[in-house]
Chains A and B, each alone.
Chain A
């Protein structure tokens, strides 16, 4: 019996998850081997598929659990864009997490849910229909909660409660929209254009709004972003998962699917839905940056920065023009690499130097050169300095704004860049130019923490500097945009 590729890809995280739950706490080696093995296998599978899909191939696997219900997994170019990001970052985060937790308690639970989260994210990426997407989207919600609340102390439990408080109503909105839509159109398959039939334009707009509420909560679109800064109570690997590997990315990816595949560019323009969404994204970009300025805790500042940066993706998608879409899609990868670097560094500062607040960073640069260099690269990338990844995204978004007749996007980008600089540069100044406080010790004798961080930072540098290469995320995003606009 041969297992179809999409299912195999799902199993690479589902099997480690299922087994890990039943391992005793002491079985460190077996647990680590399972997580790492699954992650490596998944990356290998994806690399094998990349070339085939670039050549136009797609893989499909379907299952009909009940009449009228179809679970459809499909690997197309967009799916592969997201799944390769999450797979590579999962691998890095797993290495990091193993070193980060060492022999702390409740690790089987942690890695079990961690793998389950990644399985859900893979499912989201590979979903070929809206219903399948919803199932995995909810699975992600549920498997994230034990990770957010992992420390089980009062702040973590409060963060977990906050997360569910946002997630549950928004998922109800999402389900409502899906049932409403599908009762009129039949099952919504991403690969086929949706036939909206007799649905009135205003009903279509309402469905779109509900879908965006459902997705936007995970993408931390203002005003549904409050859970994300609160979730910084979780351990650093969880922050990486929330901000880069899985959760907010799943939300942004959902917005892409809704705009691209459920509604489609033509209908978006017809119904006038692009502009409101772009406006919402712009508000989020600016509001997140403004709020980031006021934070004194490193992880909280980074969290608000995510709120702002993820909406770049939404902005790019909502502008409905080839350049903007390329910028948005590429930023899905770029932001992931840069933000995971920053959160890895924040975790190292916390673990190895006991530094949580911005004041503590004074003079840490020379003491922790590897970490601080990576942090600086990530921060400069976020600001959009060439040749980092963020620069490429911003250029394309700006061009896209002009191309789509929305020159105000340039103002948003400029303001956001200034704000980014305002909240990141002081950190770099403190790292490299301030005198260290005498009581702060810091060392980097944790290669398993530093190595993934360096790889992620190099990745963020590489995808920017080599954006013109034939296999960069930008090239992939261009391929996607070409397929969407060129018949």
Chain B
């Protein structure tokens, strides 16, 4: 069977099994499905790396009649990163999401929702059809909202409700855009759209889809739902929500603006998106600085980091390095942010809360997860030798070579702001006093450490991921009008 199909069906099958079977079996089935999905992601990536990117037309019907699934370098990089994050999250959840610790409601709901989320992410990364992407992102939103609400506390339910409203509004806007495209061209396949004859409604369609997707990505000013939702969910759920979910809608946006409709990318529109990104960097960072709960700090940091991704948009048509740079930023954010939430989860379990004063001195008892947080902070602040630094460096270089150095500013200043807001939890952890707590085993602390190490490794061994990304990278000429 084609690995692309496995990527979609296996996690869904695992989700079904997790619902159908009793608790013990369910967890085993979920973990088995997860292992298979990781293998499938690696298989797809190796096919792409070997220069034979997999592509299938569902039901044997080629577009525009049928729907195409295909993987390119961008898909492969995201599939593998997602697999790494999901594997770590599920490993961590094996302990913390068990019925004894988390209650039967979470123990029952977590596994199917997590696997459904994974299937939806994979679907978004490999779909080449705008409507199919809609289905994927809708499934993703449902699973994500479920994960926010899973704790059942009133504030979590309120956060989930707010998230749901934004997600639904976003979906409607996106769907309206898709309808306009279909009405004008009779096709929804990204590759067919790239060679379409432009129509007058394309700009409106792109605007609608962009508005919808930015609401789902939590770009400023649509970010208000994110901090309470990501901070309210259980830690492993937060890790998925913050690290992976925004990347799905971001990837669709990236494909729309550079692959499907690059000719509609007017400088004014790109500048607007970039400006919103800069605003997000500033606003998210200030928000993080103002928080006294570490989970909220990490959640606000996601708002700021999403801002980075959009601050690169004005450079996309101008310099090749901007595209790879922004993907490096996205990948290293995924690894680092998941590591942070998993580490925070361990501290919360040990200290009973996540206020900064409750975390004082925890590095003594949990040196590995504290070090994981520090390494993740290095990535998020864009310091060498992390993947975050490399992404930032590529984007800054792109800005200067394109003669648009203004767009290098958010990269440089955002790093400083990130260092500022991440310093506070680090200093608290590192303080000498602190009660003795029951620390999780070294093996469990190693899970966030491995993820954070991945964020650093992305910078140290950047040649392979860059070569992988080059497969199917949209040529810059296609982007320039």
A→B interface (CB under 8 Å): 64-69, 109, 134-135, 138-139, 141-142, 146, 149, 151-153, 157, 160-161, 164, 168-169, 171-172, 175-176, 179-180, 182-184
Please tell me if the beta carbons of A157 and B416 are within 8 angstroms of each other in the complex: no
- Cα A50 to Cα B424 with chains together (Å): 46
For B431, give its contact among A65, A135, A157, A179 (CB under 8 Å): A157
User: Is B423 on the interface with A (CB-CB < 8 A)?
Assistant: yes
B→A interface (CB under 8 Å): 321, 367, 378, 381, 383-385, 389-390, 393-394, 396-397, 400-401, 405, 408, 412-413, 415-416, 419-420, 423, 427, 430-432, 460-463, 466
- Cα A2 to Cα B9 with chains together (Å): 48
B420 to chain A, nearest CB (A): 8
Please tell me if the beta carbons of B462 and A179 are within 8 angstroms of each other in the complex: no
For B405, give its contact among A135, A146, A149, A180 (CB under 8 Å): A180
Give the residues in chain A near B367, CB-CB below 8 Å: 109
Instruction: Using A65-B462, A168-B419, A179-B408 as known contacts, say yes or no to A152 and B413 having CB atoms under 8 A apart.
Output: no
- Cα A69 to Cα B394 with chains together (Å): 10
Please tell me if the beta carbons of B423 and A64 are within 8 angstroms of each other in the complex: no
For A175, give its contact among B396, B401, B461 (CB under 8 Å): B396
B429 to chain A, nearest CB (A): 10
For B390, give its contact among A64, A66, A134, A153 (CB under 8 Å): A66
Give the residues in chain A near B432, CB-CB below 8 Å: 151-153
A213 to chain B, nearest CB (A): 13
Please tell me if the beta carbons of B383 and A142 are within 8 angstroms of each other in the complex: yes
Please tell me if the beta carbons of B383 and A138 are within 8 angstroms of each other in the complex: yes
Please tell me if the beta carbons of A169 and B416 are within 8 angstroms of each other in the complex: yes
B281 to chain A, nearest CB (A): 14
For A66, give its contact among B383, B427, B463 (CB under 8 Å): B463
- Cα A160 to Cα B9 with chains together (Å): 51
Please tell me if the beta carbons of A172 and B416 are within 8 angstroms of each other in the complex: yes
Please tell me if the beta carbons of B385 and A139 are within 8 angstroms of each other in the complex: yes
Give the residues in chain A near B423, CB-CB below 8 Å: 161, 164
In addition to A65-B462, A168-B381, A179-B397, 15 A-B residue pairs with Cβ atoms within 8 Å of each other are A66-B462, A68-B397, A69-B390, A69-B462, A138-B383, A138-B384, A141-B383, A151-B432, A157-B427, A164-B419, A168-B416, A172-B412, A175-B393, A180-B405, A182-B397
Give the residues in chain B near A180, CB-CB below 8 Å: 400, 405
For A172, give its contact among B405, B413, B462 (CB under 8 Å): B413
Instruction: Using A135-B384, A142-B383 as known contacts, say yes or no to A152 and B431 having CB atoms under 8 A apart.
Output: yes
Nearest A residue to B381, CB-CB: A168
- Cα A69 to Cα B385 with chains together (Å): 13
Please tell me if the beta carbons of A172 and B384 are within 8 angstroms of each other in the complex: no
A25 to chain B, nearest CB (A): 11
Give the residues in chain A near B321, CB-CB below 8 Å: 68
Give the residues in chain A near B396, CB-CB below 8 Å: 175-176, 179
Nearest B residue to A169, CB-CB: B416
B326 to chain A, nearest CB (A): 15
- Cα A139 to Cα B405 with chains together (Å): 26
- Cα A158 to Cα B331 with chains together (Å): 33
Give the residues in chain B near A176, CB-CB below 8 Å: 396, 408, 412
Nearest B residue to A67, CB-CB: B466
Nearest B residue to A183, CB-CB: B400
Please tell me if the beta carbons of B390 and A161 are within 8 angstroms of each other in the complex: no
B356 to chain A, nearest CB (A): 13
A61 to chain B, nearest CB (A): 16
- Cα A157 to Cα B426 with chains together (Å): 11
Please tell me if the beta carbons of A183 and B384 are within 8 angstroms of each other in the complex: no
Please tell me if the beta carbons of A135 and B385 are within 8 angstroms of each other in the complex: yes
Give the residues in chain A near B384, CB-CB below 8 Å: 134-135, 138-139
- Cα A182 to Cα B400 with chains together (Å): 9
Give the residues in chain A near B385, CB-CB below 8 Å: 135, 139
10 cross-chain CB contacts under 8 A: A65-B390, A139-B384, A142-B383, A153-B432, A168-B416, A168-B419, A171-B383, A172-B415, A175-B412, A180-B400
Give the residues in chain B near A69, CB-CB below 8 Å: 390, 393, 462
Give the residues in chain A near B461, CB-CB below 8 Å: 65
Nearest A residue to B417, CB-CB: A168
A456 to chain B, nearest CB (A): 31
Please tell me if the beta carbons of A157 and B412 are within 8 angstroms of each other in the complex: no
Those 3 A-B pairs whose CB atoms lie nearest each other, nearest first:
A183-B400, A152-B432, A179-B396
Instruction: Using A172-B415, A176-B408 as known contacts, say yes or no to A66 and B400 having CB atoms under 8 A apart.
Output: no
Give the residues in chain B near A179, CB-CB below 8 Å: 393, 396-397, 400, 408
- Cα A183 to Cα B384 with chains together (Å): 19
Nearest A residue to B363, CB-CB: A152
Give the residues in chain B near A152, CB-CB below 8 Å: 430-432
- Cα A458 to Cα B79 with chains together (Å): 61
Please tell me if the beta carbons of A65 and B430 are within 8 angstroms of each other in the complex: no
Please tell me if the beta carbons of B393 and A161 are within 8 angstroms of each other in the complex: no
Instruction: Using A169-B416, A175-B412 as known contacts, say yes or no to A183 and B401 having CB atoms under 8 A apart.
Output: yes
- Cα A135 to Cα B400 with chains together (Å): 20
Give the residues in chain B near A169, CB-CB below 8 Å: 416
Give the residues in chain B near A68, CB-CB below 8 Å: 321, 397
For A157, give its contact among B408, B430, B460 (CB under 8 Å): B430
- Cα A418 to Cα B52 with chains together (Å): 75
A174 to chain B, nearest CB (A): 10
A137 to chain B, nearest CB (A): 9
Give the residues in chain A near B383, CB-CB below 8 Å: 138, 141-142, 171
Please tell me if the beta carbons of B463 and A65 are within 8 angstroms of each other in the complex: yes
Nearest B residue to A134, CB-CB: B384
Give the residues in chain B near A182, CB-CB below 8 Å: 397
Nearest B residue to A151, CB-CB: B432
Nearest B residue to A172, CB-CB: B412
A166 to chain B, nearest CB (A): 12
Give the residues in chain B near A138, CB-CB below 8 Å: 383-384, 389
Give the residues in chain A near B408, CB-CB below 8 Å: 176, 179
Give the residues in chain A near B415, CB-CB below 8 Å: 168, 172
Please tell me if the beta carbons of B427 and A161 are within 8 angstroms of each other in the complex: yes
Give the residues in chain A near B420, CB-CB below 8 Å: 168
Give the residues in chain A near B381, CB-CB below 8 Å: 168
- Cα A196 to Cα B400 with chains together (Å): 15
| Highest count of chain A CB atoms <10 Å: which of B384, B390, B412, B420 | B384
Give the residues in chain B near A153, CB-CB below 8 Å: 432
Nearest A residue to B320, CB-CB: A67
A172 to chain B, nearest CB (A): 5
Instruction: Using A65-B462, A135-B384, A152-B430 as known contacts, say yes or no to A142 and B412 having CB atoms under 8 A apart.
Output: no
- Cα A364 to Cα B13 with chains together (Å): 79
Nearest B residue to A146, CB-CB: B430
Please tell me if the beta carbons of B430 and A149 are within 8 angstroms of each other in the complex: yes
Nearest A residue to B328, CB-CB: A66
- Cα A170 to Cα B29 with chains together (Å): 52
